[in-house]
Amino acid sequence: MSASDSADPFLVSAWGVALDDAGLDSDDFYLLPCRGRAVDLSPRAAWYPPGWVLPQEDLLVRDVLDEANEPSHREKHRVAIFEDVNEDDPVEIAIVTPSSDTRSSMLGST
């Protein structure tokens, strides 16, 4: 699986488990972590199809935009996700906290 060098290892591992669980080929995807946190009711992540040169937007700014548009990444499905989570929001915590089954597979347990 391809991911930005700046991606947190836990995020990369969780993303790999999600792709595997969905039966998707991880080689077709590129994960782009974005600094910051989504504001209320704003998207926390976004998907961008292969082949497109992407414009600047909420998730894609400066270095993340440049990385997303690198030729080797443009050939992949690019997924951008905010790194920071509002720890006071139980919904956000539920979204980014893997279930015990997912956590076990991430850690290689059975």
Chain segment 40-59, per-residue pLDDT in tens: 777 778 899 999 999 998 78
pLDDT given at position 97:
52
- Counting the structural domains of the chain, the total is 1
Would you state the pLDDT for residue 45?
84
N- to C-terminal Cα separation, the chain: 22
pLDDT score for 104: 45
Calpha distance 29→40 (Å, rounded) = 27
Q: Which domain range does residue 91 map to?
A: 2-107
**For the segment 58-105, what is each residue's pLDDT rounded down to a tens digit?**
788 889 999 999 999 999 999 998 877 666 766 665 555 544 444 444
pLDDT tens per residue, range 16-36: 888 888 899 999 999 998 887
3-state SS class at 56? coil
